[in-house]
Amino acid sequence: MSPLPTAHVPLPDLAFSEDGAPYSREFGDIYFSRAGGAAETEHVFLRGNDLPMRWQGRPHFTISELGFGTGLNFLVTYREFLRRCEPSQHLHFISVERYPLTPEMLAQAHAAWLPAEDAPLLKSLLDHYPLRLPGWHQLKLPRCTLTLGFGDADTLLTTLDAQVDAWFLDGFSPAKNPGMWEESVLAQVARLSAADASFATFTAAGAVNRALQAHGFDVQKTAGFGHKRDMLIGKRANKTPTPPSTPSSIFVIGAGIAGATIAHALAERGAAVTVLERTCIASGASGNPAAVLYPQLTKFYTPATAWHFTGYDFMLRQIARWKALGLNFTHQQPGMLRLPRPDQSAEGFASLQLDASIMRYVTRTQAAEIAGMDVASDGWFLPHGSWISPPELCHALLQHTNITLREQTGVQSIARDGNQWRVTLDSGEMLAAEQLIVANAGDAPRLLADYPMPMGISAGQVSIIPAPVPPLHCIISHRGYVIPAGEQWLMGATYDRSDYSGAVTDANHAENLVHARAALPGLALNETSIIGRTSLRATTPDRLPYVGELAPGLHVSIGHGSRGMISAPLAAEILAAQLFHEPIPLARNLLAAIHPRRRTKAK
Ligand code: SAM
């Protein structure tokens, strides 16, 4: 029986020689040549793949590496790409690493070796470095997307969806680390290769040479770097395929977080996007003044947990990037204290094996210190726990020159019409869409009646207590949540599957208050000026959203339930990557788990 999945990501057994060169004690091998790491990258991997020459005239170029290690190959390649290529060109760099270095280790590994000119690139990598979670992570850097997989190459590559133009085969030497050069790994290299893909590697091992030839590469021995006599390079002999076409005009239905993030992701890629919204921006569940970025905790790292943590990690980095790009929205990261619900024990989540940098166990005393007030029990602290203002974010995302927003524009129906989708508006106006993305939550099933997907609706009321409120220093998550949102508190949210009227009721306020008091004993609040907001969430039976292509040219991003803030932004990048034929930032098994055509039991 295979072990239950956890979020454990092993650390490298990293050591440093006297001159500061990093090496692995476990493998007994070095990360890069002491004869000059950057020069080795240029000789072996860049020139070995005929780079930068092959970048010329390519709007996109995809490199994939086996063994991210210290990221030196990446940094040197990125520097050369920025130097040699036009601003309109984009580098996709994919790399896998079973024993990722921590940010502190990365900084230490480069301290003595990295040329000073590359220091800003290292800083950029560290600023975007993902949380220590298994699976794929997408780092969106200027003119470059780094897709970093934490896990065993053998398994990770089977979950990858990409067309690789050049390979950097850089596992430790085959004699010391045969696992990285297995036939199964090289078979994945072949599967993921574009028709004219090339590879380069520091090794000249006969077995590697033969295996790559067997997989269709013309392999050559050439002069190695430093004291190494030979190395291998190779190319697939096929003709360069014509690049697939990318969409120029796209319609998105819905201007909540799902629609706003997908519209922005497409607009950033140069597409003209029209957003059709029945009422106004963020009028549904994305209209609450504050929302928590909160991944679901379970006993094991199930597909749903993996999806939500991957989305959480991705959203944290998107927030930083959007802010750096000048988007203006409220976001705070006070951390989140997760207290067990009545049917859970605080210790229960230890089996998830999340890294302590993501979530750590705290005693009740420690938790109270973090919160600044008494709390009911021991719990878990998530230092990246954040809240944002969804309406402000949706507004900021939709302000893009490539986006046309049409509010008060309800869609009555959609229908296939030749190669296009015909969109009939409530006004009777008809539009033709080459690509159509349905992102309007609860109203989607009506438009998609030909494609039944089990979905439910749950009403959620939040309660807002205006100032003065007690000084709470972090977000509290329990049976509900308490967000110290500036001067006020926002508490939520109820789950109601019977009343869809949108009414704000005292009974729901009372429920939110009971939950908050159970988490924060002795809580004294002035409830006289409590106000509320109720909205409807679109839910799915398995708590995973529906994301993907439903029919040619028809895509969905719906069913995000109460986790739209961490689920929709990743969904947006997945759809955009699919439409633009980029490496997909999610494992294929998880893509299948969120696909709208998966089998889900109706509830
Ligand atoms: N390219 C790296 C750089 O620029 O620093 C150096 C890579 S180092 C020679 C080899 C890397 O492969 C190590 O970081 C090691 O942890 C990783 N590795 C070894 N076996 C692996 C496996 N089975 N799957 C994924 N990564 C593995």
Residue 138, strand partner residues: 147
Averaged pLDDT for residues 94-122? 93
Token pair belonging to 268: 């950033």
Half-sphere exposure of 351 (CA within 13 A, CB side): 11
For residue 170, the CA-to-ligand 1 centroid distance in Å is: 7
Cβ 103 under 6 angstroms from ligand 1 = no
Please state the rounded mean pLDDT for residues 211-217.
94
β-bridge pairing 144-150 and 90-97 = parallel
Encoded tokens for 44 = 């072996």
Residue 345, CA atoms < 13 Å, CB-side half-sphere: 4
The CB of 180 under 6 Å from ligand 1? The reply is yes
Angle (CA) 101-159-188 rounded to 5° is 90
DSSP class per residue in 99-110: SPPPHHHHHHHH
User: Which two tokens mark 297?
Assistant: 């905790």
Whether 205 has a pLDDT exceeding 70, the answer reads yes
Measuring CA to CA, which residue among 37, 347, 384 is closest to residue 202?
Answer: 37
Kindly state if the Cβ of 40 falls inside 6 Å of ligand 1.
no
171 Cβ inside 6 Å of ligand 1: yes
- CB of 311 within 6 A of ligand 1: the answer is no
- Give the up-direction half-sphere exposure of residue 143: CA atoms within 13 A in the CB hemisphere: 15
Mean pLDDT of 168-196: 94
d(CA 300, CA 359): 14
Decide: 200 and 191 in contact? Cβ < 8 Å: no
Q: How far is CA 6 from the centre of its chain?
A: 18
Supply the pLDDT for residue 233: 97
pLDDT in tens, 305-357: 999 999 999 999 999 999 999 999 999 999 999 999 888 887 888 999 999 99
Architecture of the domain spanning 14-236: 3-Layer(aba) Sandwich (3.40)
* First-to-last C-alpha distance (Å) of the chain: 30
What ligand 1 atom has the least distance to the C-alpha of 70?
A: 5
Other CB atoms within 10 A of residue 16 CB = 14
579 sits in which H/E element = helix 564-579
pLDDT at 234: 97
Length of the chain: 603
Residue 65 CA: which ligand 1 atom is closest? Answer: 1
What DSSP state is assigned to residue 365?
H
Give me the residue spans of the domains in the chain. 14-236
Nearest CA to ligand 1 atom 10: 171
- CA of residue 172 to ligand 1 center, whole Å: 6
Q: Whose CA is nearest to atom 14 of ligand 1?
A: 69
Between the CA of 391 and the centroid of ligand 1 the distance, in Å, is 43
Residue 600: phi, psi to the nearest 5?
A: -125, 140
Output the pLDDT for position 302: 94
Regarding the beta carbon of 155 and ligand 1, being less than 6 Å apart is answered no
**Ligand 1 pocket, 445 CB below 6 A?**
no
Tokens 């159509």 -> residue: 436
Task: Calculate how far, in angstroms, residue 9's C-alpha sits from the geometric centre of ligand 1.
Answer: 14
DSSP assignment letter at 481: E
Calpha distance 594→597 (Å, rounded):
8
Angle at the Cα of 342 from the Cα atoms of 333 and 477, rounded to 5 degrees: 10
Most informative mutation of 25, 42, 99 for ligand 1 (most atoms within 8 A of CB): 99
Contact 439, 252 (CB under 8 A): yes
Mutate to test the pocket of ligand 1, among 170, 181, 225 (most ligand atoms within 8 A of CB): 170
Mean per-residue pLDDT for 525-553? 94
Task: Name the region of 161 (left: φ>0; alpha: ψ -120 to 50; beta: rest).
Answer: beta
- What does the pLDDT look like over 367-376, one tens digit per residue? 999 999 999 9
Dihedrals phi, psi of 360, to nearest 5 degrees: -130, 145
208 pLDDT above the threshold of 80: yes
Give the chain's largest Cα–Cα span: 81
Rounded CA gap, 83 and 143, in Å? 11
CA geometry: angle at 513 spanning 512 and 514, to 5°?
95
Residue listed under structure tokens 């969109």: 423
Q: State whether the beta carbon of 70 lies less than 6 angstroms from ligand 1.
A: yes
pLDDT given for residue 599 in this prediction: 82
For residue 347, how far is its CA from the centre of ligand 1 (angstroms)? 34
Task: Tell me the one-letter amino acid at 539.
Answer: T
User: In a mutational test of the pocket of ligand 1, which residue from 31, 72, 185 has the highest number of ligand atoms less than 8 Å from its CB?
Assistant: 31
420 has pLDDT over 90: yes
Tens digit of each residue's pLDDT (9 = 90 or more) over 131-177: 999 999 999 999 999 999 999 999 999 999 999 999 999 999 999 99
pLDDT tier for residue 239 given thresholds of 50, 70 and 90? low
17 or 212: whose pLDDT is higher?
Answer: 212
Q: How far apart are CA 349 and CA 202, in angstroms?
A: 43
Ligand 1 pocket mutation, candidates 98, 113, 167, 188, criterion most atoms within 8 A of CB: 98
Which string of DSSP letters, residue by residue, matches 35-104? Answer: T-HHHHIIIIIIGGGTTTGGGTT-SEEEEEEE--TTSHHHHHHHHHHHHHS-TT-EEEEEEEESSPPPHH
- The CA 169 to ligand 1 mean position distance, Å, reads 9
pLDDT of residue 99: 98
How many angstroms separate the alpha carbon of residue 2 from the centre of ligand 1?
25
Indicate which atom in ligand 1 lies nearest the CA of residue 109. Answer: 5
pLDDT category, 240, cuts 50, 70, 90?
A: low
| Percent of the residues in the chain that have a pLDDT greater than 90, as a whole number | 86
CA angle (205 as vertex; 203, 206 as ends), nearest 5: 145
Residue 322 belongs to what H/E stretch? helix 303-324
